[in-house]
Structure 1
Amino acid sequence: MAAHPTGNPPDQPAGETEAEEESESPTSSVAHRVFWPSAVVILLFVLYAVLFPHSAASAVTTVQDHIIGYLGWYYQAIVSLFVIFSIWVGVSRFGDIKLGRDEEEPEFGLLSWLSMLFAAGMGIGLVFWGVAEPLTFYDEPKPGIGESSAARSEFAMRQTFLHWGVHPWAIYAVVGLAVAYAIHRRGRPVSIRWTLEPLIGERVKGGWGDLIDVIAIIGTLFGVATSLGFGVMQVSAGMEYSGWVDSTGEGLQVLLIVVITLIAIGSVVSGLGRGIRLLSNVNITIAALLMIFVLVTGPTEFIFNTLVQSIGNYLQNFLQMSFDTGVNYGSEGTGWVRQWTLFYWGWWISWVPFVGIFIARISRGRTVREFIAGVLLVPTVVTFLWYSALGGSALWEEIFGSGNLTEGGVNTDAALFQLLHNLPWTGFVSGVTILLIVLFFVTSSDSGSFVVDMLASGGDQNPPIWSRVFWSVAEGAVAIALLLAGGAGSDSLTTLQTTAIIIALPFSVIMLIMCVATLRCLRAEHRAYEAARRREMAQRLVHHTVNALEENRQDEAAGRTRAWGEYPRGSRRLPWRRR
C-alpha cells in the first residue's frame, strides 16, 4: 500500500505534530478515576493475601481451577485464533499501513527496538526456564509420550517451543498492534480503552474505559510483582549454589528486591530513550554472550542437531499441539495440559496489557508488516536458539552425561546453575548469569512501571516522574510484603500470580473485541486509500485528455500530422489522435 493520500493518519489534523519529550510535562497529572481505584484494590488484595495467606490461596485456586476446568477448550481456541489473526494481518493488503505518519521514520533503531520488546516480553522467563522447562518435560512428560529417552527428549523441546514460540508473541501482537494503531496512527492517548473506540465510540471516555484501564493496571502490577518475588528466589538460589552465601533467607531476598527496585526507579525516571533502552541493549548483549558460551563449551553438534530437529517437530505438529486439550488421556492428560499449556496461555494473557502497550509505545514509525514480522518471527527464532542451547545442553547432560540434573526432581530455581557447574569457568559465568537475571528483572520492572504510569495518567506518553517512582516502589513493596507473609511467602506469591491469571479471562474477551475493532479500522483506511487512488487516477486521466485535445487542436491549426509514437504518453489511448 502506498502512502496515505492525505499525508496524515486518519483523525489527526494536517500539520499537527506530537512533541514527545523525555521529561515531565508541566501539565502532567494522574487520571484520578483510574489511579485511585487501582491503588485501593491492589492495597486491599495484598493485605488480604498477607493477613490471611492460606484462605486467599484457597479461594483464588478454587476460582482458577473452575476456569481452567470448564474453559480450557476456550483458551486453546482463542490463542490459536490470535496466531491466525496476527499472521493474516501481517501478510494481507493492510501490511503497508504505517503505525504513525506516512513520512515518519521508526523512533528506535532495529536492534534497540528488538532488544526492548524482547526484554519486556519474556527475557526473564527465558533465563528462568531455559534449562528447567525442557528438563521438567523430559522428567515428567505428558501421558502417551512413551518411556524412551529419545521420545521424551523430542517431546520436551517440541512442547517448550510451543509455550515460548509464536503463540505467546501472537497474543502480544494482537494488543500491541491495536494500541500502536490507536496512539500512533489515530493520535489517541496510550491506553487499552482507545482500541475499542471504533466499536463503542465516545463511551471509551466513561466508566467502561476506566474499568478496562483499572483491570490492565492491576494485572500488570500483579504480574510484575510476582515475577520479581519468584525471581529473587532464583537469584538467591544461584548465589547459594555458587557458594556466595551460606543460606538464602528472607533478609537476602528483601535486599535483592530493594536493589532491583532502586535500579528500576533510576531507569524509569530517565525514560524510554535512555535508561530503559540502554539496559535492554545490555541485557541482550549479555544473554547473547551466555548463549554463545554454552554453544561453544557445551555439546555444540548436539545443540545444532537439536535445533534443526526440534524446529521440524514443532512445524510438523504445530496444528495438533495448538488445539491439544489432552482429553484422549482422561483426567491425567487434561490435568497435564491445564498445569502447563493452559497456565501459560493465561499467564501470557495476564501480561498482555503491560507488554502489548510497551511494544506499541516503542513501535512508532513501523509498518504493520514490520511490526508483525518483528514481534512474531525474530523473538521466536531467538527463543528457539536459546532453548536449543541451554535446554539442549541440559538434555545432553541428562542422557549422555552425568545424568544427575533430575535427581530428586528438577530444581527450577537452581537448574541453570547446575548446568553451568558442568561447564568451564563456573564461578565467573554464574556471576555473569546472576547479573543478567537481575538486569532482566530491572527491565521488566521499569517497563512495567512505565506502562502502569501511562495508564494511570490518562494515556500520557511521558507521565509524571513522581508517579513513575510510586508504581516502581509499589511493585517492590508488594513483592516484599508477600515474601514476608507469615512464613507463607511462596503461597502468597502464588496467590497473586493465580489472581493475575484469573484476570486474564475477562481480558481475553476484550482481546477478541479488539481484533474486530482493529480489523474495522484497517479496512476503513484501506477503503479510503482505494477511493483516493481512484480519484487521483480519474484526475490524471482528465488531465491527459485535456492535454491531448489541446495538442490535437494545435496540430490541426498548423496542418501537422504525427506518427503514433510521437504523441506524449497518456494521449495514445485517444483514437482521434491517430492519423
Structure 2
Amino acid sequence: MLESLAKRLGLRTNPTIFFVSAGLMILFLLLLLAFPAQIGTVFGTGREWIVTNLGWFFIVGVTAWLLFLAYVALSRYGHLRLGADDSRPEYSNLSWFAMLFAGGIGTILMFWGVAEPISHFSNPPFAGVDPHSAQAAQDAMSISLYHLSLHTWAIFTLPGLAFGYFVYRFKLPLRVSSVFYPFLKERIHGPIGKAIDVFAVIGTLFGLAVSLGLGTSQVGAGLHALVPAIPNGTGTRLAVITVLTAVAVASIVAGLDKGVKRLSNINILMAVGLMLFVLFSGETVFLLRQIIESAGQYAQDLPRLAFWNDAMAQFTKEGGWGWSGDWTVFYWAWTVTWAPFMGVFLARISRGRTIRQFVLGVLVAPSVFTLVWFAIFGWSAMELDGIGSDGGPISAAVDESVPLAMFEFFSNFPAATLIQGIAVVVVALFFATSSDSASLVVDMLCVGTTDAGPTRQRVFWGVSEGFLAASLIWLGGDEGLAALQQVITVIGLPIFILVFLMVFALIKGLGQERKKALALKFEGVDLGRRTDSGPPPTREPAARREE
C-alpha cells in the first residue's frame, strides 16, 4: 500500500521509512501543540532522571569516542579510503571544510560565541572562583572550547566515519542501519533496520528544530537592535523563519553542488570577515596572545573537563544534577541528535578521503577555527565587560536575553549598525545552510543512496523542518523551545546508545578487513585486485601494512 502511494505521489524513496517518519513527526507535533504543558512535564521528568542517573555516561562516552577516533586515525587502518582504493576526494579542502563547518555548528558559534564565555565568566561553575575575575575568564574560555571544539566534533566524526566506511567499502545503502551490518547482517533491510532509520530521521528533525529556533531568535533580536520599530516577538520570528526556509528550499532545489556548496562558501567567508574585523578593531595584540594562551590553557584543562561530571553537586548545589547537567549533558544529548544528519552529510562529501585524512580533518580543522573564534569573540567580550569588575553591559544582556548578547557586543565597535547587519546576514545564512543540508541528508536516509530524490521529496523535508520550528515558536516562543529541549535530552539517550554501538561496529569491521588482508597475503593473491564482496583489499605494500 505504501509503495503504491509513493508511486502515485511521484516519490522515489523507501516508502516505510518515509511515511512512518513523516507520520510520526506530524503526530508528535500535533501532540506538542495540543498538550504542551503535559508533554513538557513528562519529558522534563525524563530529562531530570537521565541527567541525574546517566549524565556521567554522556560525559565519559564522548571522551571515549574522541580517544577511539585518535587511535583509529593513527593506527594501521588510517590509510584505508572511504571508498575504492583508487578513489579520490570530490571536493577541494577549502570547499570540504566550508560545507562541513557551515552544515555543522556555524549557527551555534554565532549564537554562543559571546554568550557562553560571558555566562561562565559571570557565573563560574567551580567553587572558590569569583565572578568576573581573571580565573573566571580563563575557566570560561576552556569550558566554551570543551563544549564546542574537539568533543562536539567527535560526536559528528564517529558516525561520519562509520557511514563512510560501511557504505562505501561494503557497498551498503546510505542509512544509519547500514553501520550495524556486522551485527545484523541482512536484517538491516528488515523491520529492525527500518526502525533504526526512522528513529534517526525523527531525531535529526527535532534536533535541527532546536538550532533553527535559536538561530531565528537571534536574527529577530538582531533586527530589533538594528530597527527598534521591528518588535522582537513571535510575529517577527515567524516572518524570519518563513523567509529563511524559502531560501533553504531554493538551495535544496539547486542541489548539493550548486546550492549547499555555494551557500557554505559564501557563509564561511562572511564569518571569517566578521571575525577578522573584531580582531583588528579590538585589542589586536591582546587577542593574538590569548589565541596562543587559550590553546595551552584548553589543553591543560581538557583532562579535568573531559571527566568532570559535577558529582559533588548533590552536597553543594540545588537541582540534583548540578552545573554539568544543565550545560554539558544537555550539549551532548542535543548534539548527538545531529549525529545521523552530520554523519551522513560528512560521509557524502568525504568519499575518497583516507580514514586518517577524514578523522584529523573533521576533528582538527573545525576545532582550530572554533579556538580562534572563541578566543577573539569571547576574550573581546570579557575584556569589554570588565575583567576584575562587577560586570558590565554584556553580562546584563546575557541575563536579559541570550540572543541579544552578540548585538550588545557589536555596539562597542566602529560602524556598529553595519556590523550588526552583517551579523544578522551571517546567522541567517548559517540557518539556511543547516536547513538545506539537513533536508538533503534526511532525504538520503530515506532513499538510501547519495543520489538526490525528486525535487518535491526534498522540498517536503525542507518545508517540514521550517514548519516544525515555526510551530514551536508560535506555540509559545521560548516556552515552546524549552519544551523541545526537554524532548531532545530524552530522545538523545537512545541515539547516544546507537552512536556508542558504532564504535564496536567499526572495531569489528576493521578487524574483518585486517583478517581479509592477511588471508590474501598468505594465499599470495594480488592485494590490489578488487573482490566481489566485503571491503576491497588495500593496494599498500605488505611492509607498509605491517607497520
Q: Normalization by structure 2: what TM-score?
A: 0.90
**In structure 2, how many angstroms separate the alpha carbons of the residues matched to 1:193 and 1:302?**
49
Report deviation, 1:477.
1.0
Match of 2:268 in 1: 284
Distance (whole Å) between structure 1 residues aligned to residue 219 and residue 123 of structure 2: 25
Query: For residue 406 of structure 1, what is the aligned residue in structure 2?
Result: 395
Query: Contact (CA 8 Å) 2:161, 2:358: kept in 1 or not?
Result: yes
Q: Aligned to 1:365, what secondary structure does the other structure show?
A: coil
Alignment partner for residue 227 of structure 1, among 211, 220, 224? 211
* Separation in structure 1 between the aligned mates of residue 75 and residue 206 of structure 2, nearest angstrom: 36
1:448 has 2:438 as partner:
yes
Q: Cα offset for 1:215?
A: 0.8
Q: 2:103 aligns to what SS in structure 1?
A: helix
1:157 aligns to 2:147 (yes or no): no
Give the match for residue 417 of structure 1.
407
Deviation at 1:230, TM superposition (A): 2.4
Contact 2:398 2:404 in 1 (8 A): no
1:335 equivalenced with 2:325 (yes/no):
no
CA distance in 1, matches of 2:174, 2:253: 18
Per the TM alignment, residue 535 of structure 1 is displaced from its structure 2 partner at its CA by 4.7
Change (3 A) 1:538 1:207: closer
**For the residues of structure 1 that align with 2:338 and 2:214, how far apart are their CA atoms?**
16
Contact 1:138 1:153 in 2 (8 A): yes
The answer on whether the counterparts of 1:349 and 1:501 sit within 8 Å (CA) in structure 2 is: no
- C-alpha separation between the residues in 2 aligned to 1:160 and 1:386? 11
Name stretches of at least 5 consecutive residues in structure 2 with no aligned partner.
Answer: 1-8, 528-547
Match of 1:375 in 2: 362
What one-letter code is carried by the residue in structure 2 that aligns with 1:527? K
Q: Percent of aligned pairs with the same residue? A: 37
Aligned match of 2:299: 315
Aligned mates of 2:509, 2:503 — CA distance in 1: 10
Shift of the 474–537 alpha-carbon distance from structure 1 to 2, 3 Å rule, reads closer
Q: What residue is the counterpart of 1:43 in the other structure?
A: 26
Distance 1:185 1:270 in 2: 29
Aligned partners of 2:264 and 2:433 also within 8 Å: yes
Q: In 2, distance between residues paired with 1:447 and 1:538? A: 41
Q: How many angstroms does 1:433 deviate by?
A: 0.8
The correspondence for 2:166, drawn from 178, 182, 190, is: 182
Distance 1:91 1:427 in 2: 48
Consecutive unaligned residues of structure 1, counting only runs of 5 or more, are 1-25, 540-579
Amino acid at match of 1:87: A
Q: Determine the C-alpha separation between the residues in 2 that align with 1:289 and 1:535.
A: 57
> Residue 394 of structure 2: SS of its match in structure 1?
coil
Give the Cα separation in 2 of the matches to 1:251 and 1:538: 66
Q: Which of 485, 496, 510 is equivalent to 1:522?
A: 510
Cα distance in 2, alignment partners of residues 417 and 386 from structure 1? 16
Q: Alpha carbons of 1:467 and 1:147: their partners in 2 closer, same or farther (altered >3 Å)? A: same
* Residue identity in the other structure for 2:515: R
- Asked if 1 retains the 8 angstrom alpha-carbon contact of 2:90 and 2:350, the reply is yes
Q: Give the conservation status (yes or no) of the 8 Å contact 2:166–2:178.
A: yes
Question: Which of 459, 462, 467 is residue 472 of structure 1 equivalent to?
Answer: 462
Query: Which range moved further: 71-80 or 527-536?
Result: 527-536
- Which of the residues 180, 195, 212 maps onto 1:211? 195
Q: Deviations over 1:158-189 (max 9, x none)?
A: 10010011111111111000001122222222
Deviation (angstroms), 1:242: 1.9
The match for 1:577 is none
The root-mean-square deviation of aligned C-alpha atoms, in Å, is 2.0
Could you say what secondary structure the match of 1:73 adopts? helix
Report the alpha carbon displacement of residue 318 of structure 1 after superposing the two structures with TM.
1.5
Give the SS at the match of 2:112: helix
The partner residue of 1:168 within 129, 152, 170 is 152
> C-alpha offsets along residues 363-405 of structure 1, whole Å, 9 cap, x if unaligned?
0010000000111101000000000111110011012599321
Counterpart CA distance in 2 for 1:369 and 1:214 is 31
Alignment partner of 2:287 out of 299, 303, 306: 303
Indicate if the aligned counterparts of 2:157 and 2:359 stay in contact, CA closer than 8 A: yes
Distance in structure 1 (CA, Å) of the matches to 2:147 and 2:325:
13
How many residue pairs end up in the alignment?
Answer: 512
Structure 1, 231-240 or 330-339: larger mean CA deviation: 330-339
Q: Which of the numbers 464, 478, 482 marks the counterpart of 2:472?
A: 482
TM-score (norm 1): 0.85
Residues 118 and 394 of structure 1: CA distance in aligned 2, closer, same or farther (over 3 Å):
same
Worse overlay, 468-477 or 242-251: 242-251
Q: Rg larger in 1 or in 2?
A: 1
| Alignment map for 1:321-360 (pairs within 5 Å) | 321-329=305-313, 330=315, 332=317, 334-360=321-347
* Distance in 1 separating the partners of 2:47 and 2:243: 33
Deviations 1:262-320 (A, max 9, x none): 11111112111110001011111001000100000011122122222221121112221
For 1:122 and 1:301, how far apart are their aligned partners in 2? 28
Contact 1:141 1:156 (C-alpha < 8 Å) held by counterparts = yes
Contact 2:115 2:398 in 1 (8 A): no
Contact 1:73 1:325 in 2 (8 A): yes
Amino acid aligned to 2:344: I
2:117 matched residue in structure 1? 134
Contact conserved, 1:143 with 1:332, CA < 8 A, in 2? Answer: no
Amino acid at match of 1:353: P
1:473-520 deviation line (CA, Å, top 9, x unaligned): 1111111112111xx232222222322231121122212221111122
Residue 75 of structure 1 pairs with residue 58 of structure 2: yes
| Deviation at residue 27 of structure 1 after TM alignment | 9.4
Counterpart-to-counterpart distance in 2, 1:234 and 1:133: 14
| Equivalent position amino acid for 2:443 in 1 | D
Q: Partner of 1:16 in structure 2?
A: none
Paired residues of 1:54 and 1:491 also in contact (CA < 8 A) = no
Tell me: CA distance 1:281–1:452, structure 2 relative to 1, closer, same or farther (3 Å). Answer: same
- 1:427 maps to what in 2? 417
Q: Distance in 2 between matches of 1:509 and 1:223?
A: 16
